[in-house]
């Protein structure tokens, strides 16, 4: 066991007040509550106000996590924000969050790994803590998906919601708690399955890109679905083997909230009962990098994840990327 453990000492989330229901979609799209519910498990998702953007959602979640950790915000050594829907292209959303918190001085940067981004961030944070570099790291997954969602595309727009989740990861010596395992993976050849074509250096914004709706998420849902079922199953099996864990040893799987059918299929196949898989997708939809920390905070609040529990996180998304983590809470 490492001398210093990277322990999750606080969690927080923020979900915007405005709610978009499946019935709301029926008013402007050729879809139905029944189709969306049976194909995805989603009923509602939260949507940011016009005057809110990613750093605002991230800041509210961060405040809640810092309060939960019981630390002074000035003791934060590093801020990492995982997002693909940043506040602005430049500077990083993490710098905006730092300004809002009023804690100039500490390091702050963003990472981009789409829906796997929160676990990528945990892996980075863990190295800084275990290596003895930092004592308290604020890690946030935050997305304003609605700004990049094409509400004329019924195959994708029904999936996404806005929100932010945050954790404080702190150094603790000789602890039996901590992030004990992370696995990061990617296959860049899969980028066409899920991407935003324009707005980057490859295809800068122009009248044409706007007219062609190229600033919105393009998704090949059926292909991602197959990839996600396979990867979720592989990730869980790998984490169990690498850490010598059985189904009984794992108290809760906190998966990326992508589609209830995907989770049911992968977890069911491996023998996990539904009460060992935390799902809030019906209320929040897919919030990409924010999905896992929002779910973790809700699970802790509801007493479904408790101190001392062993939890397994799994995620997959654009890139393609996929990742897992095992944590002793």
> What is the contact surface with ligand ACO in residues (CB under 6 A)?
31, 35-36, 39-40, 115, 154-155, 158-159, 194, 219, 221-222, 224-225, 228, 258-259, 286, 316-317
Does 106 participate in catalysis according to the annotation?
Answer: no
CA dihedral of residues 141, 239, 296, 310 (deg, nearest 10)? -140
Give 238's contacts (C-beta < 8 A, 6+ positions apart): 183, 324
Return the number of the residue (18 or 154) whose C-beta is nearest ligand ACO: 154
Q: Which of 106, 136, 157, 256 is catalytic?
A: 256
Return the number of the residue (106 or 315) whose C-beta is nearest ligand ACO: 315
Tell me if 236 sits within 8 A of 267, measured CB to CB: yes
Tell me if 289 sits within 8 A of 143, measured CB to CB: yes
Q: Which of 115, 136, 267, 280 is catalytic?
A: 115
Return the number of the residue (278 or 316) whose C-beta is nearest ligand ACO: 316
**Smallest gap from residue 42 Cβ to ligand ACO (A):** 9
Return the number of the residue (36 or 47) whose C-beta is nearest ligand ACO: 36
Does 267 participate in catalysis according to the annotation?
Answer: no
**Smallest gap from residue 162 Cβ to ligand ACO (A):** 14
Give 54's contacts (C-beta < 8 A, 6+ positions apart): 81, 83, 85, 86, 87, 93, 142, 143, 144, 164
**Smallest gap from residue 116 Cβ to ligand ACO (A):** 8
Select the residue whose beta carbon is closest to ligand ACO and give its number.
221
Q: Residue 322 belongs to what H/E stretch?
A: strand 321-328
Return the number of the residue (36 or 48) whose C-beta is nearest ligand ACO: 36
Residue with tokens 């801020």: 79
DSSP track, 165-203: EEEEEEEEET-S-EEEEEEEEE-GGGGGGEE--SSSSSS
Tell me if 114 sits within 8 A of 227, measured CB to CB: no
**Smallest gap from residue 295 Cβ to ligand ACO (A):** 13
**Smallest gap from residue 6 Cβ to ligand ACO (A):** 26
Strands 218-219, 252-255: pairing is: unpaired
Q: Which of 136, 259, 280, 286 is catalytic?
A: 286
Secondary structure (3-state) at 23: helix
Active-site positions read 115, 256, 286
């Amino acid at each position: 066991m490492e001398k210093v453990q990277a322990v999750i000492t606080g969690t927080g989330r923020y979900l915007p007040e405005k709610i978009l229901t499946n019935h709301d979609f029926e008013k402007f799209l050729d879809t139905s509550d029944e189709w969306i519910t049976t194909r995805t498990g989603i009923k509602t998702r939260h949507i940011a106000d016009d005057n809110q953007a990613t750093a605002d959602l991230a800041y509210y979640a961060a405040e809640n996590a810092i309060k939960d950790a019981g630390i002074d915000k000035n003791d934060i050594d590093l801020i990492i924000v995982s997002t693909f829907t940043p506040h602005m292209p430049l500077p990083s959303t993490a710098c905006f969050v730092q300004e809002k918190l009023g804690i100039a001085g500490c390091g702050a940067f963003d990472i981009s790994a789409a829906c796997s981004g929160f676990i990528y961030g945990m892996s980075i944070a863990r190295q800084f803590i275990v290596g003895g570099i930092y004592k308290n790291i604020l890690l946030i997954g935050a997305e304003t998906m609605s700004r990049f969602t094409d509400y004329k595309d019924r195959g994708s727009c029904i999936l996404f919601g806005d929100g932010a989740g945050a954790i404080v990861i702190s150094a603790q010596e000789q602890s039996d708690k901590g992030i004990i395992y992370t696995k990061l993976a990617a296959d860049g050849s899969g980028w066409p399955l899920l991407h935003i074509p324009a707005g980057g250096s490859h295809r800068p914004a122009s009248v044409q890109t706007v007219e062609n709706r190229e600033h919105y998420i393009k998704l090949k849902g059926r292909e991602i679905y197959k990839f996600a079922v396979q990867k979720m199953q592989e990730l869980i099996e790998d984490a169990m083997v690498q850490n010598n864990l059985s189904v009984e040893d794992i108290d809760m799987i906190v998966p990326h909230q992508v589609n209830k059918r995907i989770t049911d299929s992968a977890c069911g196949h491996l023998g996990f009962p539904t009460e060992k898989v935390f799902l809030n997708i019906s209320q929040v939809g897919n919030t990409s990098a924010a999905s896992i920390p929002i779910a973790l905070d809700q699970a802790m609040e509801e007493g479904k994840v408790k101190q001392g529990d062993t939890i397994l996180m799994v995620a997959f998304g654009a890139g393609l990327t996929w990742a897992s983590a095992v944590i002793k809470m």
